[in-house]
Structure 1
Amino acid sequence: MEAPIVKEQTYFLSSTSQERFFVKSYLPSSGKPKGILQILYGMAEHHGRYHELALFLAESGYGVFINDHPGHGQTAGNLERLGFIPDSRGWEIMLENARTLYTHIKKNQPEVPVFLLGHSMGSILARHFIAVYPVYIQGLVLSGTFEMPGGLLKALGLVVRTQKLFYGPNKVSKWFNKIFFLSFNRHFKPRPTPFEWISSSREEVDEYARDPYCGFDCSVAFYNNLAKGITAMKKAHHNLKYRKTLPLLIMGGQDDPVGHFGKDAMKIHREFYKQRFQNLKVKIFRGRHEMFHETEKEKVFMYLLEWMNEHLHTR
């Protein structure tokens, strides 16, 4: 029997807030990885959705580490806890978990460069992460990212506070889920599921719709933290003190309604350019919100791999 090419492990870590969170790692069985990718995924999904990407990268010589956020996947613990996070410090706990995992990676692989990938909500976390933690990231990848104008963000905060006042933080907010999910879905026909916006692949959308750990309704507290997190990230990025040679790849889908069909990727590129970041790349793929689950996902995998290889030793 042949030895596996990839070594997979699952475990729990505890952050500084004493919150336990689930981690899965993928490492090449042949030896030390040439680089590591830490993944921060998006809202209402889980670590398992990145299994195929992680295997591809591990088979190509990279390690991959991914954790489940509070209220998500195995960190939530059961289906009844999906979408629920602490109202007072939910976003901060997500950031602390990301930092704890990064520290864990560097403790065990101190000489291996670490790339950070944030998808959708995770891209906001990733941008906030580099703004508040003085750690060395080899390269930053923002996937399915989006820009929320100040007026819309204030309106979101007002509605969240109103719902919190009337229903409390632990009320599941179906109203918000309609706004977030169904407004994206209206751009596509036919619409056999509420999730046509994530991918043009029928198989991928149906798998997402069948997965009880995906597309779940979130609590008022979750949306409260999301609004506060986006606001805090924007404030931190007004004067981002991070090395200007940081390699940055912004990936978007030309048919992604979350990112306004590729426009937000270009806006965010301009924001980094204005702050004199020197190593910027934007790639708009054919597809919707989740390029890693698109019909041409193999091309996306390869593009990411080649970009990481190119910047493995960039200082």
Structure 2
Amino acid sequence: MNYEKITGTFPSADKSCDVAYYIYTPLEHAPKAVLQISHGMCEYIERYEREGFISDMTARGYVVCGCDHLGHGKTAPTEDERGYFAEYETLADNQKLLYEIMRKTYRRLPYILFGHSMGSFVARDYMIRYGSTLDGVVLCGTSGTSKQPIGFGLFLTSLLERLRGDRYRSSMVENLSNRGRNDNWKNERDKLSWLTDDKERRDRYRSDQLCTFIFTVRAYNRLMRLLQFISSDEWYEAVPKSLPVLIMSGALDPIGDSGNGAQEVYGKLCDMELSDVRIKVYENGRHELLNSSIRDRVIADLDEWATDIIEGVREKNLLGAEFFRRFM
């Protein structure tokens, strides 16, 4: 193992529970940056450890950290708590609380937020509320404007919440949410084929009780509200112009409309004249690029981009120090 692992908890921003967090410090390299993971729907940070991403990044000199979102992982230790959160804003607020914990130890390291899938939605909320804390953001497996009728979904989940309670789990809502995801792989006879082309990783996912729960109607409602917000002109106009952004998507990812959603986000961010926005769309890539047959290339591309960001931060710091030396 090439890292030291530290675990802990902090009170959630909404005071609803304690949030579990994890810090992985490289043992073989001096830390060069902090990479904070905002994980996806129905997964958790230690899955990134199990599937090898964390060791891949610590081997490259990154301090990796992350917290289990509300309703996920060890933040939600009981079945009743899994798949529930009251307000989507709290997810980004908790990411900020973890950032503050990390900055107590790593005050000067470049800081990058990596968001996958739902976690990329949370990262996008974070960008406009706390973007000044970051040196770069990676949006992996993100989505453009929803092709499904969000208005109907909001109505249905609100109605079910009033009738059955906010922790009700609806198989109808779940099926509507998953509709069409696996259309490209019906011949594989595996409803999780859309996730990755790696069958062993799919099997580990399906056997993991921390990945196979159903979202409550309240959480689905708030997730749809979040997607609606980050697809709005208001969101695009609020993104800090100087914040570097990397968008990564599989060309066959149904969450990202087969790469079209990622291209939409990229195009709109370019229209907002961000100083540094880049995109990587991987041919034959499905939703979970980090758990696919092309994961080595994806991780190498991520590291190459992050190295550019790190060099940019270093140059900016040197210029600032030189200015201070000459004029102060």
User: TM-score, normalised to structure 1's length?
Assistant: 0.92
**Greater Rg by CA:** 2
Of 104-113 and 26-35, deviating more is 26-35
Is 1:73 the counterpart of 2:73? The answer is yes
Kindly provide the amino acid, as one letter, of the partner of residue 247 in structure 2: I
1:237 matched to which residue of 2?
235
Aligned-pair identity in percent equals 27
Deviation per residue, 1:204-247 (Å, 9 max, x gap):
111111111113211101111112222333454142151x2322
Is 1:99 the counterpart of 2:103? The answer is no
1:305 matched to which residue of 2?
303
Kindly provide the amino acid, as one letter, of the partner of residue 121 in structure 1: M
Of 75-84 and 259-268, deviating more is 75-84
Asked if the contact 2:135/2:309 (under 8 Å) is kept, the reply is: yes
Q: In 1, Cα distance between the equivalents of 2:164 and 2:294?
A: 43
Q: In 2, Cα distance between the equivalents of 1:148 and 1:289?
A: 17
**Structure 2: which 5+ runs fail to align?**
314-328
1:55 matched to which residue of 2?
55
Of 228-237 and 272-281, deviating more is 228-237
Q: In 2, Cα distance between the equivalents of 1:151 and 1:126?
A: 22
Equivalent positions of 1:1-315 (< 5 A) are: 4-18=1-15, 19-30=17-28, 32-51=30-49, 52-86=52-86, 89=87, 91-149=88-146, 152-235=149-232, 236-242=234-240, 244-285=241-282, 286-315=284-313
Asked if the contact 2:92/2:126 (under 8 Å) is kept, the reply is: yes
Runs of 4+ in 1 over 4 A off after TM superposition: none
Relative to 1, partners in 2 of residues 1:78 and 1:32: Cα closer, same or farther, differing over 3 Å? farther
Asked if the contact 1:193/1:209 (under 8 Å) is kept, the reply is: no
Q: In 1, Cα distance between the equivalents of 2:100 and 2:306?
A: 21
CA RMSD of aligned residues (A): 1.9
User: TM-score, normalised to structure 2's length?
Assistant: 0.88
Relative to 1, partners in 2 of residues 1:246 and 1:85: Cα closer, same or farther, differing over 3 Å? closer
Asked if the contact 2:139/2:248 (under 8 Å) is kept, the reply is: yes
Structure 1 residue 82, shift from structure 2 partner = 1.6
Kindly provide the amino acid, as one letter, of the partner of residue 292 in structure 1: L
Structure 1 residue 298, shift from structure 2 partner = 1.3
Structure 1 residue 32, shift from structure 2 partner = 4.6
Asked if the contact 2:111/2:136 (under 8 Å) is kept, the reply is: yes
Q: In 1, Cα distance between the equivalents of 2:111 and 2:75?
A: 23
Asked if the contact 2:38/2:122 (under 8 Å) is kept, the reply is: yes
